[in-house]
């Protein structure tokens, strides 16, 4: 599977969705990071990741797409225009990608940019079934929080597929770990380590890891099902059973937004 992760807004969770949701569920996947401004994952030794400079010859990226069955191209917002300018020069290059995943948060600017990103993809000929929007950082009710996006989107968005706001990701950042690293099948795995810790600092670190593991158990089940519902295939690396997220249905409010042509493209 070849996936592009993009949004003309930054800070919507592209890199987190790439490394914590998509990458662990694809066998032998390669992440190609296209990012010149925001924080990079390039030094994360737990990821099979490389970097592509949009100023370089695009043949290198083309070769990676041919050589790798599973590839995730994570594009920084500031690099979108340059990336698509190059890709669109080569007939059929865009068709190599199976899906275009657009993470979004519920704030107005990011919602507007999400819709602009969808419209842009449609304008360059990407089929609707290839465009997948993932509402991110949902606090309570996705229908209410993303009502503006659902009302104004030019495509159908599956409201059962979303990522809830979780303390897990901020705690993992403090630990400098990812979900796969902290996860243990045994929920009591960290208890002996907490008891045997030699310093208060070490004890607090194991407590934090224990709490992250407990949050991860629930999240992994949700992510496995999300992946299957989003792409119509089971996780290639799934280790847990899945559980369905239930949502209460709310009517969208009547708030309108004005979508102008994006300067990011």
Residue 181 in tokens:
């690293």
Residue 213 domain boundaries: 167-231
249 part of a folded domain: no
Regarding whether 221 and 131 lie in a shared domain, the answer is no
What's the pLDDT score for residue 49? 93
Contact partners, residue 221, CB within 8 Å, separation at least 6:
240, 241, 242, 243
- Count of domains for the chain: 2
Regarding whether 53 and 177 lie in a shared domain, the answer is no
Question: Rounded distance, CA 134 to CA 105, Å?
Answer: 9
Instruction: Select the more confidently predicted residue: 41 or 152.
Output: 152
Mean per-residue pLDDT for 57-71?
A: 93
What's the pLDDT score for residue 162? 95
Its pTM stands at 0.86
19 part of a folded domain: yes
Q: Residue 250: is its pLDDT beyond 50?
A: no
237 part of a folded domain: no
Counting residues of the chain whose pLDDT is more than 90, the rounded percentage is 76
Output the domain CATH number for residue 94. 3.40.50.300
pLDDT digits (tens, 9 = 90+) for 156-189: 999 999 999 999 999 998 999 999 899 999 999 9
Regarding whether 210 and 79 lie in a shared domain, the answer is no
């Amino acid at each position: 599977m070849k996936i592009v992760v993009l949004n003309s807004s930054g800070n919507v969770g592209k890199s987190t969705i790439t490394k914590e949701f998509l990458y662990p569920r694809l066998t032998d996947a390669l992440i190609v990071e296209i990012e010149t401004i925001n924080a990079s994952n390039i030094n994360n030794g737990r990821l099979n990741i490389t970097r592509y400079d949009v100023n370089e010859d695009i043949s290198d990226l083309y070769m990676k797409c041919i050589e790798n069955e599973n590839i995730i191209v994570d594009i920084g917002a500031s690099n979108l225009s340059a990336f698509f300018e190059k890709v669109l020069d080569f007939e059929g290059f865009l068709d190599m990608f199976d899906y275009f995943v657009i993470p979004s948060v519920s704030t107005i600017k990011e919602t507007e940019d999400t819709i602009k990103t969808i419209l842009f993809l449609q304008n360059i000929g990407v089929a609707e079934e290839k465009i997948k929007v993932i509402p991110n950082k949902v606090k309570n009710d996705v229908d209410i929080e993303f009502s503006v996006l659902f009302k104004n989107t030019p495509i159908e968005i599956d409201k059962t597929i979303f990522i809830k706001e979780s303390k897990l990701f901020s705690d993992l950042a403090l630990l400098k770990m990812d979900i796969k690293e902290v996860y243990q099948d045994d929920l009591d795995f960290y208890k002996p380590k907490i008891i045997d810790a030699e310093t208060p600092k070490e004890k607090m670190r194991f407590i934090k890891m224990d709490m992250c593991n407990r949050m991860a158990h629930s999240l992994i089940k949700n992510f496995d099902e999300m992946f299957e519902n989003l792409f119509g295939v089971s996780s290639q690396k799934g280790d847990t059973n899945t559980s369905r997220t239930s949502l209460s249905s709310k009517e969208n409010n009547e708030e309108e937004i004005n979508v102008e042509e994006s300067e990011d493209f």
